[in-house]
């Protein structure tokens, strides 16, 4: 990785490493070699959970333990971390092995999420907890402000199922129509079919679960544009 890429990344992170080797290590995936970021990822995961847990505890003084746990899970899950990584344009900075690089590892959600945790671990080791917490809270500021104690939003598959049940219609059907790529880098193409819509909806993602959610969201949007009235018994 060039010095210019490192400078740009650190500007986006809002943190400049005094030891460039620590940054390099945080960005090194296990496919690159034996010296990689897995230990930093382990450390960063624990620190992230604590920082977000404390932020939620302060932000929601009336919240019950179960509510705080659900919100924290939402904030620290891989999907959220990968979104942060993309905002940092982290993919272009990763140090990957040749095979992982060819298979598109710089876009893979799990690798991006793990690298964010490794960066948190590296910042903590170099500058301590206070500085690390300041950075993490800054990264999460808009997401934390958008939270509420209302029941977390249901995923698209659940909402689609509930919509169909409310209208006394059969449940959706999901089919895998194509799987591309190597075994460790599959791309799944999913079709979603429901009774009121003649044409199936297709979506593609690196996991079957994510592709199904994307297809369900698009199908739900189509359904909501047509007029459906719940069927009455008798």
Annotated binding site for Mg(2+): 41, 114, 117
How many H-runs (helices) and E-runs (strands) does the chain carry?
9, 3
CA separation, residue 49 to residues 22, 38, 138 (Å): 22, 17, 15
Task: Name the active-site residue from 45, 100, 191, 212.
Answer: 45
Task: Name the active-site residue from 109, 117, 191, 212.
Answer: 117
State the Cα–Cα distance between residues 173 and 195, nearest whole angstrom: 9
- 3 flagged as catalytic: no
Residues in binding site: 41, 114, 117
- 180 flagged as catalytic: no
Residue labelled with tokens 């390099």: 24
DSSP structure class, residue 32: G
State the Cα–Cα distance between residues 84 and 232, nearest whole angstrom: 47
DSSP structure class, residue 21: H
- Active site positions, annotated: 45, 117
């Amino acid at each position: 990785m060039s010095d210019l890429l490192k400078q740009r990344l650190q500007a986006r992170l809002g943190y400049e490493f005094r030891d460039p080797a620590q940054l390099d290590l945080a960005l090194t995936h296990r496919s690159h070699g034996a010296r990689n970021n897995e230990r930093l990822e382990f450390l960063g995961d624990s620190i992230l959970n604590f920082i977000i847990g404390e932020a939620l505890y302060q932000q929601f003084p009336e919240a019950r333990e179960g509510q705080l746990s659900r919100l924290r899970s939402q904030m620290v899950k891989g999907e959220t971390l990968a979104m942060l990584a993309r905002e940092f344009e982290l993919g272009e900075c990763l140090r990957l092995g040749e095979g992982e690089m060819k298979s598109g590892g710089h876009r893979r959600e799990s690798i991006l999420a793990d690298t964010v945790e490794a960066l948190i671990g590296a910042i903590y080791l170099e500058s301590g907890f206070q500085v690390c917490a300041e950075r993490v809270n800054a990264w999460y500021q808009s997401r934390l402000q958008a939270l509420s104690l209302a029941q977390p939003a249901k995923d698209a598959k659940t909402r689609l199922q509930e919509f169909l049940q409310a209208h006394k219609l059969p449940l959706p059907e999901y089919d895998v129509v194509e799987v591309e790529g190597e075994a460790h880098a599959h791309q799944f193409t999913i079709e979603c079919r429901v009774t009121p819509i003649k044409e199936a909806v297709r979506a593609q993602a690196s996991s079957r679960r994510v592709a199904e959610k994307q297809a369900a969201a698009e199908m739900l949007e189509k359904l909501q544009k047509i007029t459906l009235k719940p069927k009455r018994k008798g």
